[in-house]
A and B are shown apart, each in its own frame.
Chain A
Amino acid sequence: MDAIILQILNGLDKGSAYALIALGLTLIFGTLGVVNFAHGALFMIGAFCAVTLQKILSASYTVIDPSQTDFLGRPLEVSKPYLEAWLGPDLGGGIIEWSVPLAILFAIPVMLILGYVMERGLIKHFYRRPHADQILVTFGLAIVLQEVIKHFFGANPIPTPAPPAFAGSLDFGVWLGFDPNAIIYPYWRTVYFLFSLVIIGAVFSFLQFTTFGMVVRAGMADRETVGLLGINIDRRFTIMFGIAAAVAGIAGVMYTPINSPNYHMGMDFLVLSFVVVVVGGMGSLPGAVLAGFLLGIVESFASMNEVKNILPGIDQIIIYLIAIAILLTRPRGLMGRKGVMEE
């Protein structure tokens, strides 16, 4: 029993990332009808927002510290972050340690602007072109974004630790009455899961309970009619593109402590999130979220040793197998609407 709960928990953090990326992909597809192959790159850029902020915050200068000496007895040169000098070691050091959560505030405007520019500058011209062209141009854009990041940050993963307050692990089993140490789950992954729930909830309530969201939903259902009613639906869809980019971006920010970001992490996640979107149903937001968590959990079950002994290699392909099965038997996905991209 505890093993099963552990696998579910393990699946949740990856599932959260899948769900967030797939949510953005579906938002873009549902509103603009565009298949965005650059969405993984947006996730990656979000992660690098965290890296950038960490670098900016820990910008430092060297001072000679007479109290410390090296092995020859000379005073040691210590690099001291400006922040610590200005705000004192407690507050300054604290801010540096909390750079990943703080990066969310930094990433949201960056991603909103990036998404806006991307939609106005590029995607706008591809509404009337076939889906294949949209795939191709966004694939090209993904390559470009990835190479730009590689140029500025290098090819190696950059470690970005979580705040020390979340460094340890949660002994989750004790809460449920199991023995101590039966179910150990890192704090940060718990945070990531809860965070993704908050974001998903925020996106849904935004669409459900605001006038803006109502108009967007109406536009998703029937763009032409909404346009005829004198509402500038294009502008709202552009903003939705920005929001989708921001969702992918902050998903990337919060993912950095789990996996050190490198320039091709976006491509790695992209394929899987497309699979997630397809399984959930093209254009269905709840479907994308559900399928994201579901596939994350299924993947983590498939990587249990007991399963791998029966079906070797199943953990590597299970997601793709599910996607193929779904596409062949129920092309509109788990929760897709009838008639949306069924062919």
Chain B
Amino acid sequence: MFGLEKKDAALLLIVAVVTLCAPILLNPFPAGSEMAQFNAGYPDLMQRFAIYGIFAIGFNILFGLTGYLSFGHAAFLGVGSYSAVWMFKLLSMNIIPGIILSVIVAGLFSLVIGFISLRRSGIYFSILTLAFAQMSYNLAYSVLTPITNGETGLQLSLNDPRVLDAARTTGSLPVTTLFGAEMRSATSVQFGVWEWQFSTGFYVSAVLMLLALYLAIRIFRSPFGIMLRAVKSNQNRMSYTGLNVRPYTLAAFVISGMYAGLAGGLLAAMDPLAGAERMQWTASGEVVIMTILGGAGTLLGPIIGAGFIKYFENIFSKINDNVLHDWFAFLPDGLNDFVVTVIAPFFGDGWNLTMGLMFMAVVIFLPGGLVDGARRIGRLFRRKPAGAKRPDAATKPAE
């Protein structure tokens, strides 16, 4: 199907079904019930799943395949957001031109940065990308204020030209649309005790994410993808065979930059705002964390990592001391207070602490990420008969 092998096609199909049914699947708890706060099926969060999924898929094409650890990918996301918002300001509130421009601009930007940064590898590459990203961040904050609107961030205003749209000088700010369908409009469906929200914005992001995943699968399975893996396992040997690796790594860098631009454009399409903080290096760190947590170098890993991080970021920050007291209400009073005091720092505002610990645990114990963890657990259940070849022996790259 679509030039995919059976296994990959099945994977894509499963992801597609899960994604398109996400508004239903992510709302397992009836509306209004105690557990409803753990539902993730509201448009704003689901959009972020899809968008950061795209971002992480793109990052994975660079890091997962070539092993080049970029600490500056948020710069491309930020550039994408700015270009999309400018399109909304100048041309039209239709998201198509905005998204196309954000992909192109991010691609050009990553071409320049990649061309310079890829002259070095390893730690130097990380520091170069970090330096470029911090430079863009600092510039967006200070000198480029006419383009980026500095600290306030770039916003729509009523007297923007918007050449293609009908003039609108009064009333509220226009909203982003796809040929008339408003991004933020959502249909709410009541089904028994459940309430599901189907929003345009989510489906636009979801379809684009599926497209992004499809492209990533094609890249992973193509000769180009195998070349990138070869760069990861032994770049020197590649060079000795007479191949110039830089065009390949640069192509991977630009592709992942364009993915980041697409994600940035979509973020702006869902909420027409762009701020410099999206480009800060800690934001680049976030996508690194997502990819590694899910499993770098795997197809599903980045999506799972992005969903995982965004879900828990949202849910953990909602859990405050009172909720915790309720959870442990079955314990005697003194013990209850004690337990809550001990675990409270990890919830609410402490989400970053939990995330940091989780990330460290994954890097230390499970370098393959959650996907690898699931695979290991699966292997426990269907043990091969004794004497069969250990599967990881075959997958280790030759050093």
Contacts and interface: CB of A to CB of B under 8 A. Distances in A.
Interface stretch (A70-78, A142-150, A180-188): A142-150
B130 A271 contact: yes
A137 interface: yes
B336 interface: no
B131 A343 contact: no
Interface stretch (B21-29, B47-55, B138-146, B161-169): B138-146
Interface stretch (A96-104, A128-136, A236-244, A253-261): A128-136
Contact of A136 (B67, B122, B292): B292
Contact of A275 (B121, B127, B139, B292): B127
Given A317-B139, A320-B131, A327-B120, A140 B350 contact: no
A209 B174 CA distance: 72
A331 B124 contact: yes
B353 A148 contact: yes
Contacts of B343: none
A125 B130 CA distance: 26
A169 interface: no
B123 A135 contact: yes
Contacts of B356: 140-141, 143-144, 147
Contact of A132 (B69, B119, B142): B69
Interface stretch (B209-217, B319-327, B358-366): B358-366
Contacts of A147: 350, 352-353, 356
A312 interface: yes
B367 to A, nearest CB: 7
Interface stretch (B281-289, B300-308, B378-386): B281-289
B208 to A, nearest CB: 28
Contact of A274 (B127, B360, B364): B127
Contact of B360 (A144, A323, A341): A144
A331 B292 CA distance: 28
Nearest to A141: B360
B205 to A, nearest CB: 27
A284 to B, nearest CB: 15
Nearest to B353: A147
Contacts of A328: 116, 119-120
B308 to A, nearest CB: 15
A327 B132 contact: no
A131 B353 contact: no
B279 interface: no
Contacts of A343: 120-122, 124
B350 A135 contact: no
Given A143-B355, A316-B138, A132 B67 contact: yes
A316 B359 contact: no
Nearest to B354: A147
Nearest to B113: A324
A35 interface: yes
B397 to A, nearest CB: 12
Contact of B116 (A141, A267, A275, A324): A324
Contacts of B138: 313, 316-317
Given A143-B355, A320-B131, A125 B69 contact: no
Contacts of B173: none
B128 interface: yes
B292 A321 contact: no
Given A323-B131, A324-B116, A328-B116, A35 B143 contact: no
A125 B360 CA distance: 13
A225 to B, nearest CB: 24
B36 interface: no
A151 B345 contact: yes
B120 A133 contact: no
Contact of B139 (A271, A313, A324): A313
Nearest to A321: B135
Given A137-B363, A148-B353, A271 B120 contact: no
Given A313-B143, A324-B128, A324-B131, A136 B288 contact: yes
Nearest to B121: A343
Interface in A313-343: 313, 316-317, 320-321, 323-324, 327-328, 331, 341, 343
B39 interface: no
A181 to B, nearest CB: 30
A139 interface: yes
B357 interface: yes
Contacts of A290: none
A327 B135 contact: no
A232 to B, nearest CB: 25
B127 A327 contact: yes
B134 interface: yes
Contact of A341 (B122, B142, B144, B281): B122
Interface in A263-297: 267, 271, 274-275, 278, 282
Contacts of B127: 274-275, 278, 323, 327
Contacts of B149: none
A125 B363 CA distance: 11
A132 B64 CA distance: 12
A131 B119 CA distance: 18
A324 B128 CA distance: 6
B314 interface: no
A271 B353 contact: no
Interface in A141-164: 141, 143-144, 146-148, 150-151
Contacts of B197: none
Nearest to B143: A313
Contacts of B126: 132, 135
B72 to A, nearest CB: 11
23 contacts: A122-B364, A125-B364, A135-B69, A135-B123, A136-B69, A136-B288, A136-B292, A137-B363, A143-B352, A143-B355, A147-B352, A150-B349, A267-B282, A271-B130, A271-B281, A282-B123, A317-B139, A320-B131, A320-B132, A328-B116, A331-B124, A341-B124, A343-B120
10 closest residue pairs by CB, A with B: A313-B143, A143-B356, A147-B353, A316-B138, A140-B360, A144-B356, A320-B131, A140-B359, A320-B135, A132-B69
Given A136-B288, A267-B282, A316-B135, 7 more contacts: A135-B69, A135-B123, A143-B353, A144-B360, A151-B350, A316-B143, A327-B128
